[in-house]
């Protein structure tokens, strides 16, 4: 919209200049997007600052339709299996962990784990997102035995398992290199790695919210090493805490560069920080407006990603439907079970029937997929 057509009271000279500059920037970026060219880090920052969400939606939807079937929205039937809540890292944004020795700490037995996998399969699930904490009592042999048991009994299940932080720690306490650790896990059916733990890939931010966790370079190296072994993963971003917009852009730049280098990622997912019951106080939660903006900018910037997954767990069904017009093409998992985000008091867990209704009502065709994003 040109400045002279804006409704409302007359703009002062400074406001008019800013409006003209904003229009010029978005038109320049739009030219790149519609020519299927890459946008720069500076462009991404300008998009975060652009006031009109409709402009961002148009650009993001164009990118999305170039990478995926414009009529289809996919989802997977799965379970987040939190095998332990014992973790010594004490991330300030996490309400789920319990330190070693805490009376509320737990580690599931093998039979409990197998019962949960069996229940998932009986409900039509194909994915087990296997995550927990950095538990000093669990070394590589525990994971090898557990994964082997799961795959021997339920060979069709996809093990989307262990964040980079967990993998780095398991290798460390097991006196293995990261590559050796991943090679062993791969032999017993570990197939792909969730992008959890990425938070914001800027060490200044990581030192504030999770000072004992892996560094940016360590997280990226884990994904690089996994890719060298043929193991794919997802990338994520948790925003809305202590990061700046420049930090978000730097994060996106790092994962786009790694995707250019070795293509480790099948999809990108972003969600807003949920502060309830955590030790990371913030003035206010990120708004739905901010969430939609972040999804759109991510899709526009990450031109080498096929899939952008929305976060119905943190945003709820209404914002999830809207996000489909802002570049997202995947509803994520039905989450037969989830405990980490829910520990902070946020719980939008829907079944497959509800997913299908929401996708149809938004004007798309729902399709079930597996972890590899193959439509079933």
Residue pLDDT, tens place only, 4-43: 444 555 556 555 455 556 678 899 999 999 999 999 999 9
List b or e across 15-47, with b for residues whose CB sees 16 or more CB atoms inside 10 angstroms: eeeebeebbebbeebbebbeeeeebeeebbbbb
Taking a C-beta distance cutoff of 8 angstroms, is the pair 229, 186 a contact?
yes
Q: How much is the pLDDT for 3?
A: 44
Q: What are phi and psi of 199, to 5 degrees?
A: 45, -105
CA angle 375, 227, 243 (to 5 degrees): 90
Tell me if residue 114 falls in helix, strand or coil. Answer: helix
In the predicted model, is pLDDT for residue 319 greater than 60? Answer: yes
In the CATH scheme, what is the code of domain 72-368?
3.20.20.70
pLDDT surpasses 80 at 1: no
Check whether 348 has a pLDDT greater than 80: no
Confidence of residue 229 (pLDDT cuts 50, 70, 90): very high
Range of weakest confidence among 93-97, 158-162, 274-278, 361-365: 93-97
Per-residue model confidence (pLDDT) at position 10: 57
Half-sphere exposure of 122 (CA within 13 A, CB side): 6
Q: Is 329 in a helix, a strand, or coil? A: coil
Range in 104-108, 190-194, 232-236, 303-307 the model is least confident about: 104-108
Residue 93 reports pLDDT greater than 70: no
Share of the chain above pLDDT 90, in %: 74
CB-CB contact of 266 with 233 (8 Å): yes
Q: Check residues 120 and 101 and name the one with the higher pLDDT.
A: 120
Q: Average pLDDT in the 185-189 region? A: 98
- 3-state secondary structure (DSSP) of residue 103: coil
Both tokens of 232, joined, read: 């794919």
């Amino acid at each position: 919209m040109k400045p002279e057509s804006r409704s409302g009271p007359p703009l002062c000279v400074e406001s008019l200049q800013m409006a003209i500059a904003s229009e010029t920037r978005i038109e320049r970026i739009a030219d790149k997007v519609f020519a299927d060219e890459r946008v720069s880090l500076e462009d991404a920052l300008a998009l975060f600052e652009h006031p009109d969400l409709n402009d961002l939606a148009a650009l993001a939807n164009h990118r999305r339709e170039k990478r995926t079937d414009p009529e289809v929205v996919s989802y997977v039937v799965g379970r987040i299996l939190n095998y332990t809540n014992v973790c010594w890292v004490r991330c300030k944004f996490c309400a789920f962990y319990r330190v070693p020795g805490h009376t509320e700490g737990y580690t599931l037995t093998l039979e409990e784990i197998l019962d949960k996998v069996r229940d998932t399969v009986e409900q039509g699930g194909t994915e087990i997102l296997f995550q927990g904490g950095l538990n000093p009592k669990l070394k590589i042999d525990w994971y090898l035995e557990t994964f082997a048991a799961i795959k021997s009994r339920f060979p069709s299940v996809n093990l989307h398992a262990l964040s980079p932080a967990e993998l780095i720690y398991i290798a460390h306490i097991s006196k293995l290199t990261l590559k050796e650790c991943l090679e062993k896990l791969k032999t017993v059916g570990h197939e792909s790695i969730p992008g959890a733990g990425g938070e914001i890939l800027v060490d200044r931010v990581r030192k504030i919210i999770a000072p004992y966790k892996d560094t940016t370079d360590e997280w990226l190296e884990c994904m690089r090493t996994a890719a060298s072994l043929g193991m794919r993963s997802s990338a994520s971003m948790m925003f809305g805490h202590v990061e700046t917009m420049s930090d978000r852009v730097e994060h996106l730049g790092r994962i786009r560069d790694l995707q250019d280098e070795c293509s480790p990622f099948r999809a990108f997912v972003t969600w807003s920080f949920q502060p309830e019951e955590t030790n990371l106080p913030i003035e206010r939660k990120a708004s739905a407006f901010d969430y939609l903006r972040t999804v759109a900018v991510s899709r526009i910037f990450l031109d080498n990603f096929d899939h952008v997954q929305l976060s119905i767990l943190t945003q709820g069904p209404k914002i999830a439907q809207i996000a489909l017009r802002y570049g997202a093409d995947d509803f994520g998992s039905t989450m037969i079970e989830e405990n980490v985000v829910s520990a902070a008091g946020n719980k939008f867990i829907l079944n497959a029937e509800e997913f299908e209704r929401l996708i149809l009502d938004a004007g798309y065709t729902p399709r079930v997929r597996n972890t590899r994003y193959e439509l079933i």
